């Protein structure tokens, strides 16, 4: 899976509960989360295990400050709706760093 899932998306839609949860629990503001969608590498895959009814995706990306983030999101019409965001764990960072080194 790749970033093609994001084609046609024009912005972000935030559920106030999810935005607050991500801020309080993981210290990630919505704006910082959104930055990850525009920085490379940005690795997207289907989250088939957690998709019930609506297709969910997970992604590995980084904010403008270089913070490595693990994101779970869905697409609603033209909008990306972030469900959860947190710092990458060690295994996720290794996958992300390998993707970054493979680009060069």
Q: Which domain holds residue 56?
A: 3-102
Predicted confidence band of residue 86 (pLDDT cuts 50, 70, 90): very high
The structural domain count of the chain equals: 1
The Cα-based distances of 61 to 12, 17, 25, 48, 77 in angstroms read 16, 22, 19, 19, 22
Q: Is the peptide bond before 41 cis (omega within 30 degrees of 0)?
A: yes
Query: Which of 102 and 67 is assigned the larger pLDDT?
Result: 67
The pTM (predicted TM-score) of the whole model is: 0.89
φ, ψ for residue 35 (rounded to 5)? -55, -35
User: Exposed, middle or buried by CB within 10 Å (0-12, 13-18, 19+), for 90?
Assistant: exposed
**pLDDT over threshold 70, residue 1:** no
Q: CB atoms < 10 A from the CB of 5, how many?
A: 18
Dihedral pair phi/psi, residue 51, rounded to 5°: -85, 115
Q: What is the pLDDT of residue 5?
A: 86
Find the CATH number of the domain harbouring 32.
3.10.450.530
pLDDT digits (tens, 9 = 90+) for 34-83: 999 999 999 999 987 765 677 899 999 999 999 999 999 999 999 999 99
């Amino acid at each position: 899976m790749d970033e093609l899932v994001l084609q046609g998306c024009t912005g972000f839609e935030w559920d106030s509960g999810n935005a607050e949860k991500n801020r309080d629990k993981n210290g990630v503001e919505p704006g910082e989360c959104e930055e990850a969608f525009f920085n490379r590498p940005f690795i997207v895959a289907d989250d088939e295990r957690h998709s019930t009814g609506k297709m969910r995706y997970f992604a590995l990306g980084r904010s403008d400050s270089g913070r490595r983030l693990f994101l779970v999101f869905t697409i609603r019409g033209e909008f990306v709706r972030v469900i959860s965001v947190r710092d990458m764990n060690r295994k996720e960072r290794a996958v992300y760093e390998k993707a970054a080194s493979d680009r060069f």
